[in-house]
Amino acid sequence: MNDYFYAMSKKDLKQYLRELSKKQLEEQITDLYTRFKEVKEFYDFAFNPKENKLMEECKMKISNEYFPVGRRKKAKMRRSVAQKYIRHFNRLGVEPSLVADIMFYHIEIAQTYSSEQHIKQEAFYKAMLKAFGDAIEYVDEQGIRKEFKSRIQQIADEAKVQNWMNKLGFESLINR
């Protein structure tokens, strides 16, 4: 930990904010909005949540990882692209069912790709199983598993149909 900075507790922050006038608060928030990209994104989303546009952009980027458009011809298949969006959406406070949709979409697009291209890398299958486990855990925590029940089953069934090396792992995750 850096000794140059005092780590303010939430209680200290609340006390500090109570002591500021409305004008001083407005100035500080405006300054934060101007200085920090994350604060700007948060307020932009809070006041104009274009969730549909965000979802379209996200799905396009994830699809592009497997089915590249433009000059790049080779698929990169990076799980990190989907993970980055999922973390970003959670920070913004995007509706949980939309976050879950992205989590499952990523696995589904990867399965579409693997149905057309044989994938030899064991890491791909491990990453997809991890993503599936994370998605199931997320929908369970959010209490929305019922909403995604058929997609969950379809993903596990597709892993079986494609004879993925860890197909039993998908089935066991459904039953936990």
Average predicted confidence (pLDDT) for the chain: 89
CB 68 within 8 A of CB 75: yes
* Predicted confidence (pLDDT) per residue in 36-86, tens digit: 888 887 777 777 777 778 888 899 999 999 998 877 778 888 889 899 989
Q: Is the pLDDT of residue 12 over 90?
A: no
pLDDT tens, residue by residue, 143-167: 999 999 999 999 999 999 999 999 9
What crossing angle do the helices spanning 96-116 and 122-142 adopt, rounded to 10°? 160
Task: Please state, in angstroms and rounded to a whole number, the distance separating the CA atoms of residues 176 and 159.
Answer: 17
* Residue 2, pLDDT above cutoff 60: no
Residue 75 in contact with residue 113, Cβ under 8 Å? yes
